[in-house]
Amino acid sequence: MADNRLHLQHGPIDIIALVDSSEEIRKRLYSAAQKRFSTVLEELVAEMDLLKLPWSTDQITPSGIIAQRMFEAVSDAEVFVSPMAAVAGAVADEMLETMLVEAKIPELCLENIQRIYVNNGGDIAFWLNAEESFSIGVVDNPEIPELNSKVSLAYESPVRGIATSGWRGRSLSLGIADAVTVLAESAAFADVAATLIANEVDVDFPGIEKRPASEVKDDSDLGLIPVTVDVPKLPENKISMALDRGAKTARIFIKTGKITAAYLSLQKQTLVIDNNLKGGTK
């Protein structure tokens, strides 16, 4: 632990968690989180073949709790997507839920906790007590660690999950967005939505390089589907066209209640789509 935060790492899963409470309660919840975390990767690997399959209504329902969260997050998708699109967010949600269950034991009591968050590689699940808030900063390009946007979420907000996708990060993307950050009711739902919106941020332009996903990451669930590996400097009109394509999908997701808001970024142009179905560039 550092600065009262808990760091858990196993294979590709890298989690930073924080319980904002007394040291006694924090240690109790961290102990529960560590115990649950020790089973996560094995649980996912056991059903990995199923989780990598493209979502369809006739698929067998997985048995693992995290896998079930992943299935639920993609269950009404109308485009190609596998449950793996929700894996990071679903793990964050499960770790948060594990600590909340422990916190409900009478001698602890949720009233003694201000906030809890679980950050799994940028996909975040969080819980707030009354009158508390949670602030996040968005970095468009991980190679240039500057704060590009900031949002504060109050207790009254329905948002409890945040996720970011784009071609520059750890995840693979069919599109060219530097970053698409989504706010939703859970990290798993935000994870899927960010992936699908980022996939739509695209445009035809010489120099955009794409390669089969299996060549970029040999265990990718995307197989031979081309993913973005390089994007040249684009003309302003092409950037706007690409962002508008992603914004169309974001508005649909907001209208259907899947997400609350989305922030899209491409080469210094940004677009914010909120639950009033409005968007603005800058």
Give the CATH number for residue 226.
3.10.520.10
Nearest residue to 224 via CA among 232, 209, 235, 213 = 213
Amino acid, res. 1: M
Structure tokens at 203: 């445009």
Q: Are 30 and 20 in contact (CB under 8 A)?
A: no
From residue 246, alpha-carbon distances to 181, 195, 196, 266 in Å are: 12, 11, 9, 11
Q: Domain total for the chain? A: 1
For residue 181, the enclosing domain spans 5-281
Predicted local confidence at residue 83, as pLDDT: 94
d(CA 258, CA 101): 25
Predicted local confidence at residue 148, as pLDDT: 62
Residue 210 pairs in a beta bridge with 228
Structure tokens at 76: 């009404």
Predicted local confidence at residue 281, as pLDDT: 43
Predicted local confidence at residue 273, as pLDDT: 92
Nearest residue to 75 via CA among 189, 180, 186, 160 = 189
Predicted local confidence at residue 230, as pLDDT: 95
d(CA 263, CA 183): 9
Predicted local confidence at residue 140, as pLDDT: 59
Predicted local confidence at residue 277, as pLDDT: 46
Residue ranges of the chain with pLDDT lower than 50? 277-282
E-assigned strands of the chain? 5-10, 13-20, 115-120, 123-128, 133-138, 149-154, 161-165, 179-184, 209-212, 226-230, 261-266, 269-273, 279-281
